[in-house]
Structure 1
Amino acid sequence: MGSLELTFDAVNEPAPGPKWAARWQRSWPAYEAWFVGRGGDHGPSRKDCRAALQRHMPELVGVYDRLVAIAGGSDRAARFLSTWCPPTYLGGCSLAALAQGNDVRLVRNYDLSPELNEGLLLRSEWSGRAVMGMVEFLWGLSDGINDAGLSIALAYGGRSETSEGFGITTILRYVLETCTSVDQAVTVLDRVPSHMAYNLVLADASGATAGIEMLPGGGARRMPKAIATNHQSGPERADRPAFTRSFERHAHLSGMRTSPRNLHRQFLARPLIQDRYSEGFGTLFTAEYDPKARSLGLTICDERWDQALDAFVEGQRRVDYAHKDAHPVAVKYLGADHTGPDWSLAATIDWKAVARDYANGCGRDIASYLPGKTRAA
């Protein structure tokens, strides 16, 4: 299997420039292989992608155009960066937000393979508003906070159904670039379509919190509690619930009794913490957002790394999750009616080999790189 090492970088770049360009050069080969291998070249045209961004999130178009230019301006890069109707992607994660009196926190566990996370904490001011968060797809966010104290985080909604919409990480970026409160954010989430099912938790400096279920193709359901794992409240069946333990984690979050200040402690213990790194489902970090302080505390393998929007310090942390892995043998969870690839083994794919194959014009469907698959003759 691949490496269980991950480097986290804290980067401060107010406007897209050389630091973002360096990140693009480093990450694009693997992303390009994924994009092509999952059928991205057969998606919407470059013109349609930009038009969708202009229609739904016009405030991001200027930043998008600049990023495309820095990335070299290719048709494929432009369509990838738009995240309009992208290929499917999955994940894990547990989320909760809690407010009591004058205190509020949003906490998330990010559960995935170390090979599939960018490890980038970026502070930016792309639209004039300071935003700090964990980057996905080179400019989207899996979680973050802005200078108004609005914070947000995502979790996979538990099913791979897709429809017309944006990648959720771009929607989170848009929320933090344009909104100052939970109520404003919920209005945006009602309007901007997501291409897959995702669960979101939000909190702001006033103490408002919300749990939102994003539906494929558009629509958002507001939930009674600001908690989320990897299934939704509708009749749709969740993918691999036994593997993700989504219902167990959700029940724990629903029944926990704690304070905002101690909420993060719940996420550092079972059943929320995950250690199945060799199976592609380990907790890479726990993020604790304090909307009033505009701060973030990252816990990575028991070590705390604190940052704040007005006191951001660039730095780097290198982590080897191998010693944290309690289950070295991958466990396949396949439902009785499962006939597709076992994507729980995605962490074992040699992504460098994928990139080489596509660069040489002999790339195959990504599923064929899973263990047990053989190269077509």
Structure 2
Amino acid sequence: MKEFYSDVIQYRGTHYDFGYFQGELLKDSLILPNREKQWESRKDRHFLINPEEYKNVISKFSPAILEEIHGLADALEMEMEKAFRLFGGYYLEYTRSGCSVFTDADFMVRNYDSHPRGYEGRYMFYAPTDSGYAVIGPSMQITGRIDGMNEKGLVMGYNFTHSKNSDDGFICNMIGRLILETCANVGEAISLLKELPHRHSFSYIILDAEGESYVVEASPRKVAVRRANVCTNHFHLLDEENRYRQQETRQREKTIQAQQLQATNPYQAFKVMNGPDHGIFSNKYDAAAGTIHTSVYFPKELKAWFVIGPDKEPVIFDFAKWLKGNNVNVKQIKGTLEYHRPFVNMG
């Protein structure tokens, strides 16, 4: 077992200033050089159609995030075309991943399963002062969010289905950010997901403070919505969009349903997902299907739990207190994984 960590980053201010702040941090970080090395062999697949198209599409859904990317580019003295490629979350390839989600009326618990080499190890608190809702959650590709919760109690996680038959559109982590920063409840999130252009096929699991839980199955061609409290890596409604082999994801869905029947409180539900003995936590890191983190969000209380690796006690964040101006004292979230190579933020 090797030790891994995520840095906890907190900021209140405009999107441009937030971008500039992150750019200053990235100057001294290994994230960008490590990611460039990883992408070198796939460089031809990591591109935007053109910068003007990106500016038009992001401005339609969130001009504030465009300002954040400008701030990043200015701090890093980077051309905007490269900044859009690195931070824009549009028309980029995405490494396949696993992921499992269980929701109750009062909480969501999620395992994020992927390859550790792409994980950037940043857990973000951000409260914009210009526009948009404050959000807590782990980042991906700097501007995107892997899962999270906003100040209104809207919670979001996503699960990969497939990347075949992709089209022009936003990738999952930017879609997650747009949901959390611009939507107050599941109704608004569903409307946004129906309007957004989708690059790949993913399920978006959303829960709000009213206890409403939905799975939105989204592909570049179609979006469908169903009420559900368990989600893995296959569609129920858009069956034509599924991968050929679904045995593992369907079995994992049944395992979650069976195991969670024995859970009588949020902590037990968390242990079902985070404890290897329950058959949901995965060590298949080389196959991009190993569990990196387990998140729990409480939309009514505005609290969050987070842990890296298996069988750990969660770090507990009181987002409601943070929204009132009380910064958290945690600088890093540490854990262990059965894998030998570090996250991109680590040496």
Secondary structure of the residue that 1:185 maps to in structure 2? Answer: helix
Q: Where does the alignment leave 5 or more consecutive residues of structure 1 unmatched?
A: 326-346, 353-377
Q: Sequence identity, in percent?
A: 20
Deviations, residues 81-130 of structure 1 (Å, cap 9, x unaligned): 2222112322111012111xxxx101100112322211211001133532
Secondary structure of the residue that 1:235 maps to in structure 2? Answer: helix
Deviations, residues 54-100 of structure 1 (Å, cap 9, x unaligned): 2343443333332332332322222332222112322111012111x
1:303 partnered with 2:313: yes
Q: 1:266 and 1:20, CA in 2 relative to 1: closer, same or farther beyond 3 A? A: farther
1:18 partnered with 2:28: no
**Pick aligned residue for 1:225 from 207, 223, 228:** 228
Deviations, residues 259-302 of structure 1 (Å, cap 9, x unaligned): 56243232124221112335443212211100011111113332
**Pick aligned residue for 1:68 from 73, 82, 88:** 73
Stretch deviating more after TM superposition (285-294 or 253-262): 253-262
Superposition TM-score, scaled by structure 2 size = 0.82
- The one-letter amino acid of 1:147's match is E
1:116-265 aligned within 5 A: 116-126=118-128, 127=131, 129-216=133-220, 219-233=222-236, 234-238=239-243, 241=246, 245-255=248-258, 256-257=260-261, 258-259=263-264, 261=266, 262-265=268-271
CA distance in 2, matches of 1:52, 1:19: 23
CA distance in 2, matches of 1:186, 1:296: 23
Q: Compare CA radii of gyration and give the structure with the larger one.
A: 1
Superposition TM-score, scaled by structure 1 size = 0.76
CA distance in 2, matches of 1:220, 1:286: 27
Q: 1:90 and 1:187, CA in 2 relative to 1: closer, same or farther beyond 3 A? A: same
Structure 1 residue 34: deviation in Å? 4.3
Kindly indicate whether the alpha-carbon contact (under 8 Å) linking 2:305 and 2:317 is maintained by their aligned counterparts in 1.
yes
Q: Where does the alignment leave 5 or more consecutive residues of structure 2 unmatched?
A: 323-327
CA distance in 1, matches of 2:302, 2:76: 31
Paired residues, number: 320
Kindly indicate whether the alpha-carbon contact (under 8 Å) linking 1:159 and 1:239 is maintained by their aligned counterparts in 2.
no
Kindly indicate whether the alpha-carbon contact (under 8 Å) linking 2:117 and 2:342 is maintained by their aligned counterparts in 1.
no
1:277 paired residue number = 285
**Pick aligned residue for 1:78 from 84, 105, 114:** 84
CA distance in 2, matches of 1:294, 1:105: 10
Q: 1:163 and 1:247, CA in 2 relative to 1: closer, same or farther beyond 3 A? A: same
CA distance in 1, matches of 2:117, 2:85: 23
Calculate the aligned-residue CA RMSD, in Å: 2.8
